[in-house]
């Protein structure tokens, strides 16, 4: 009877929460692999004419800014690095790695801080920045929920098998 209860408890612990699957998959496939491919493609294929078109599009949306080719390429490199982080984060969340969960939460706080800094420097960007803060907020709230923390912490605290 006790073994059956332990077996059911282990099965309950092993059941991956739907939110972990969703957020881990989003991090791995969308923000990781897909965005890495897009940023690398942009880095290697952007032309000065394309950059002029981007600047014109931004001006139509009342964002007065000019971007040089060097700035755009630097932004593409930064986006590629962030995408690599998301690949690691997604893999770690799907693989039940508590350390990766914690790093993802810290990264999300940093991401949110950068968004607020940009807002302070450019208040007119609020419409564009709002959506940028929603996803890290969801990551922070979900990955710090007590049941999710328990799910990840159980990965290293398995009961020893009785002999």
pLDDT tens digits along 99-143:
999 999 999 999 999 999 999 998 888 888 888 999 999 999 999
Domain range for 83 is 18-153
In a domain, 87, yes or no: yes
In a domain, 119, yes or no: yes
In a domain, 10, yes or no: no
Tokens describing residue 41: 């493609």
In a domain, 48, yes or no: yes
In a domain, 58, yes or no: yes
pLDDT at 64: 78
In a domain, 5, yes or no: no
pTM of the model: 0.83
Number of domains making up the chain: 1
Task: Out of 5-9, 74-78, 80-84, 108-112, pick the least confident.
Answer: 5-9
In a domain, 160, yes or no: no
Q: What is the DSSP string of 113-151?
A: HHHHHHHHH-GGGHHHHHHHHHHHHHHHHHHTSHHHHHH
């Amino acid at each position: 009877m006790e073994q059956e209860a332990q077996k059911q408890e282990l099965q309950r612990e092993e059941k991956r929460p739907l939110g972990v699957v969703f957020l881990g998959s989003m991090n791995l496939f969308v923000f990781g692999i897909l965005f890495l491919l897009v940023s690398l493609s942009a880095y290697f294929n952007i032309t000065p004419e394309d950059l002029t078109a981007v600047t014109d599009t931004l001006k139509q949306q009342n964002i007065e800014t000019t971007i040089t080719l060097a700035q755009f390429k630097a932004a593409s490199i930064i986006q590629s690095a962030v995408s690599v982080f998301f690949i690691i984060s997604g893999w770690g969340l799907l693989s039940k790695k508590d350390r990766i969960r914690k790093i993802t939460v810290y990264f999300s706080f940093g991401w949110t801080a950068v968004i607020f800094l940009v807002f302070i420097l450019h208040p007119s960007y609020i419409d564009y920045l709002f959506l940028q803060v929603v996803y890290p907020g969801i990551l922070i709230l979900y990955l710090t929920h007590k049941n999710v923390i328990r799910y990840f912490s159980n990965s290293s605290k398995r009961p020893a098998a009785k002999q």
